[in-house]
Amino acid sequence: MVKKEIRKITEAEIEKVRKFRENRISKVSNNNELPIELSSNAKVVFHLIPMISFNLDQNYYINKISIDDNEKAKLMKQIYVIGSNIKYNYDGFLTYNSKSYVQFFRNGIIEAVDEQLLDGEFIPSSAYEKALIETLDSYLSMFKKLQIKLPIFVFLTFTGVKGYLMSFKNNARSKNKIDRDNLLLPERLIESYDVEAKDVLKPCFDSVCNACGEPKSHNYDKKGEWLER
């Protein structure tokens, strides 16, 4: 069997992706030119950015998927919401409610923003990890249906979280408060659709715990399996 060769990504391309993310985080933080108006509360921001999206005239049309709009909305699930509004907009396709949205840009980029998970100055350890694992699984399923080419960058960001603690089961809390307003977690790179979302996101979850004074996520066992609680 011939092994499929993966195209090497240049530093210039990586920098282009990072700048796009930084620009979008600035807009989310300042509630500037977003598809819906959000509050100034802390937010979870999740980006999936295919490298091919930066090609000129690159377009993917979600209406080409042979399912109805409600099924499309399930594939584009919001991070922490059951049920949502849907509509086509200038940038592509949107699912939303008053506190969160998922924007599918025509060039293949997904931006999901939620301000419900971080209500009360705590990051709920198990709840947010479970939500993001399910969310990533759903988005990758949609990307496969659209035949979006790899690789795909995954970015997790928390905005407005200075002073937040992490909460665990039995009302336990993390040792330290987060010491900065925004947590821009390092990117993850997906080069195959045969991946486990829990494995892709574990380094991000560990980093969030580090920011709260913890050595790693509490929700994985010694073998790296995620423990749904």
> In a structure prediction context, what are the per-residue pLDDT tens digits for the chain, which is 229 residues long?
434 555 678 899 899 999 999 999 999 999 899 999 998 899 999 999 999 999 887 888 777 665 676 777 778 889 997 667 988 899 999 999 999 999 999 999 999 999 999 978 999 999 999 999 999 999 999 999 889 999 999 999 999 999 999 999 888 999 899 999 999 999 999 999 999 999 999 999 999 999 999 999 999 998 889 987 5
User: Taking each helix axis from N to C terminus, what angle separates 197-211 and 125-146, rounded to the nearest 10 degrees?
Assistant: 140
Range of the structural domain that residue 124 is part of = 11-28+39-211
Number of domains in the chain: 1
Task: Say if residue 12 is exposed, middle or buried (CB neighbours under 10 Å; 0-12, 13-18, 19+).
Answer: exposed
Residue 34 belongs to some domain of the structure: no
Residue 227 belongs to some domain of the structure: no
Cβ density class 117-152: b for 16+ within 10 Å, e for less: bbeeebbbbbebbbbbbebbebbbebbeebebebbb
Residue 107 belongs to some domain of the structure: yes
Strands (E), 121-220: 122-124, 152-159, 165-167, 183-184, 188-190
Residue 149 belongs to some domain of the structure: yes
Of 77, 80, 82, the closest CA to residue 116 belongs to 80
Residue 54 belongs to some domain of the structure: yes
Show the tokens assigned to 73: 């909305």
Residue 52 belongs to some domain of the structure: yes
Residue 216 belongs to some domain of the structure: no
Query: What gap in Å lies between CA 184 and CA 160, rounded to an integer?
Result: 11
Residue 70 belongs to some domain of the structure: yes
Question: Torsions phi, psi of 179, nearest 5?
Answer: -100, 10
